[in-house]
Amino acid sequence: MSDLLCIATIILVGIVQASLQLSLGGLILLYHASMGHHRRRKTRFLARHYIIGAAVISFLMVCTIGFIISTIFNGALRTEYLVICVGIFVASALIMWLFYYRRGKSTELWLPRSFTRFIQRRAKATNDNIEAFSLGLLSSFAEMPLSIALYFVVANCILNLSAQYQIAAVLGYTLLSVVPLLILKLRVKSGKNVVEVQQWRLRNKAFARIISGSGFLVLAAFVTVYWIF
Amino acid sequence: MKKKITYEYSSRGIQQNVLRYARSQNVPENWAKQIAERVSKATDAWIADKDTVTEEDLRRIIYNEIKILDPDLAFAYKNHDKII
């Protein structure tokens, strides 16, 4: 596989990962809760640590799965495992279109209510940077049912890259996966409030659903064409 | 059957709660205090002739009052638990 193809796949997977909404929702919740309690400076620190937490889980997952692939699968996923990943992507596309968002005028997700309440409680109780970091880890980790296959494909691509690009690729992927969080942070820093962002999410819920679902489907087609055949 | 939890109504609690929401939306401090005060007055007036009310009713009254004063804040108040 050429390096260019690997990089294209990594970018595509990064975009699909970035379209998942739980981390973004968690950060909005954190802003909501923190800005009412703390000074802006403190809220900025909490948001920064939340984003670092979300990035760290992406980074660690890619590295861990890369290690698993290189030790158990001898450096590259076999075709049958890639077919399984493609199957998961197609299923994820259907989940995105049909179940990901709950019905009604809200941006509530597919998560069990008890778990959502737990994240809300944690966001309200977050007072220091370590708690914000943990909340970032948790909200990224909670999306694992949808993102685990993404990690396998991206780790496989990174292992196929030339050695000198591998670390840059892991870091690039990690950065790409937290781009929505960084955009939200920049918007809040530039004076916008989180309600505007939440209103935008609500207005464009159908659009986000189509983009995420289509992203998974395009990724499935891409992996099938370039990695399986 | 799920046990119902009851709280004593607190005008000050309502004020603090609304103030917290207002601060989280970058509402200027003085305006936030005015909103909180007006909302608590409205809930005081509404609750005066009632023995028991549900939290949902109280939230509806608060929402209606905030909506008149600051629609963005009302949106935040109504949707804070519908983000994820």
Work out the minimum CA distance from B70 to partner chain A, whole angstroms: 12
Which residues on chain B are in Cβ contact (under 8 Å) with A107?
82-84
B73 in any annotated domain: yes
Give counts: helices (H), strands (E), chain A: 11, 0
**Other CB atoms within 10 A of residue A102 CB:** 15
CATH of residue A22? 1.20.1250
pLDDT of residue A75: 86
Tell me the pLDDT tens digit for each residue of B60-78.
999 999 999 998 889 888 8
pLDDT of residue A190: 87
Count structural domains, chain B.
1
Work out the minimum CA distance from B40 to partner chain A, whole angstroms: 18
Query: What residue numbers bound the domain in which B52 lies?
Result: 11-79
Burial grade of B12 (CB within 10 A; 0-12, 13-18, 19 or more): exposed
**Other CB atoms within 10 A of residue A214 CB:** 15
**3-class DSSP state of A22:** helix
Cβ of residue B82 closer than 8 Å to a chain A Cβ: yes
B17 contact partners, CB below 8 Å, separation of at least 6? none
B4 in any annotated domain: no
CA A78 – CA A72 distance, rounded (Å) = 11
B66 in any annotated domain: yes
User: What is chain B's mean pLDDT, rounded?
Assistant: 88
Q: B26: alpha, beta or left, given left = phi > 0 and alpha = psi -120 to 50?
A: left
Residue A1 has pLDDT above 70, yes or no: no
Among residues of chain A, what percentage have pLDDT more than 70?
Answer: 100
**For chains A and B, what is the number of CB pairs under 8 angstroms?**
60
Tell me the pLDDT tens digit for each residue of A150-194.
999 999 999 999 999 999 999 999 999 999 999 999 998 888 888
Structure tokens at A31: 């802003």
Does residue B6 or residue A46 have the better pLDDT? A46
According to DSSP, the residues that pair with A109 across neighbouring strands are: A101
B2 in any annotated domain: no
Cβ of residue B81 closer than 8 Å to a chain A Cβ: yes
Tell me the pLDDT tens digit for each residue of A14-27.
999 999 999 999 99
- Contact criterion met (CB below 8 Å) for A51 and A178: yes
Query: What residue numbers bound the domain in which A94 lies?
Result: 3-228
pLDDT of residue A27: 93
Among residues of chain A, what percentage have pLDDT more than 90?
Answer: 67
Residue B30 has pLDDT above 80, yes or no: yes
pLDDT of residue B1: 59
Count structural domains, chain A.
1
B43 in any annotated domain: yes
- Contact criterion met (CB below 8 Å) for A6 and A160: yes
Q: What is the ipTM of this complex?
A: 0.74
Q: pTM for this structure? A: 0.89
User: What is chain A's mean pLDDT, rounded?
Assistant: 91
Tell me the pLDDT tens digit for each residue of A116-147.
888 888 888 888 999 999 999 999 988 899 99
